[in-house]
Amino acid sequence: MTRIRILAATLLLFAAFGATAAPATAAQQTTTLMAIRAAHHPDYDRVVFEFAGPLPAQRDVGYVPELIGDPSGLPVPVVGDAILQVRMASASGHDENGNVTYGPTRRTYPLPNVIQVVNSGDFEGVLTFGIGLARQSTVNTFTLTNPSRVVVDISTPFRTVPVDVHFLDLYRFEQGIEPYTRAVSRPVIPPATARGALQRLFAGPTQEELVQRLRFVNSDATGFTDLSISNGIARVRLTGGCSSHGSTFTIAGEIFPTLKQFSSVRWVKIYDPAGNTERPTGQTDSIPECLEP
């Protein structure tokens, strides 16, 4: 009788352990991000996160005032007037050797609303991205299978107009062929077209444009503020840092043609983060001392 009781107790213990162990193992299964794609469709921009394996166990999408790095806790720069955060749990963006599995962690798109997609965390099975948008709008999120995909649709209920953004062309610069910049087209929301053009400039080239050897020379600036246009003069202040690093080509070489495409702008005055420029008055271009070679 005693043996029967011991055997029964052992079987009950095994059954209880087995019942809890299986879900715990399933919960710990991590899927791997393999690709990020973005494209415009009628009335919305779509961003797709594709995984090798099951869908992430948890998926949270929402607007945030700023993008915070995980686990650093520090702000992560992302260009846009609105930031949509995509957080996916039981998901990873790297392999066993720590190599990124989905390509560039920061990428630019020439879409009406989506400006950038930036990774802000890949830590302890939690994968986080920020999507920089031209304007906050309605979001629809859903999943697809075969392969596993998290889809984020962001509405574009506004009109855009094309503007030129000027990036450094490495080939022309190395060959000494002026102008050293090449213009690419970007959609911006009127009437703030000059501001939209600068915003797209600071987002940098797309992956395809990088292959074509276009580059954004930021001269340590992380953004801009105080853009104004009056009496043919555009004034803009850099934020973050400001340094030419001894180069004859600086961010000024990109800002000047990007702003002068507009009929309301004849001269451009660039200020450093402290609000200084060499020629603050007069009908002439101006740069701060920090952008001198």
DSSP bridge pairs for 150: 49, 143
Please tell me the distance from the alpha carbon of residue 225 to that of residue 281, in angstroms, as a whole number: 19
- The amino acid at residue 137 is S
What does DSSP assign to residue 90? S
- The amino acid at residue 209 is E
Written as one string, the DSSP assignment of 123-134 is ETTEEEEEEEES
Please tell me the distance from the alpha carbon of residue 97 to that of residue 119, in angstroms, as a whole number: 18
Listed residue (186, 146, 192, 181) closest to 253, CA to CA: 181
What is the three-class DSSP state of 5?
helix
Whole-number pLDDT of residue 16:
35
Listed residue (278, 282, 281, 213) closest to 252, CA to CA: 278
Whole-number pLDDT of residue 28:
55
* Sequential pLDDT tens for the chain (293 residues): 344 343 333 333 333 333 333 343 345 589 999 999 999 999 999 999 999 999 999 999 999 999 999 999 999 999 999 999 999 999 999 999 999 999 999 999 999 999 999 999 999 999 999 999 999 999 999 999 999 999 999 999 999 999 999 999 999 999 999 999 999 999 999 999 999 999 999 999 999 999 999 999 999 999 999 999 999 999 999 999 999 999 999 999 999 999 999 999 999 999 999 999 999 999 999 999 999 99
Model pTM above 0.85: yes
* Token representation of residue 134: 């031209």
Please tell me the distance from the alpha carbon of residue 274 to that of residue 174, in angstroms, as a whole number: 33
Please tell me the distance from the alpha carbon of residue 46 to that of residue 152, in angstroms, as a whole number: 6
* Token representation of residue 291: 């952008």
Whole-number pLDDT of residue 29:
85
CA atoms within 13 A on the CB side of 118: 22
Cα dihedral 86, 92, 93, 97, rounded to 10, equals: 160
Please tell me the distance from the alpha carbon of residue 111 to that of residue 42, in angstroms, as a whole number: 12
Q: Radius of gyration of the chain from Cα atoms? A: 25
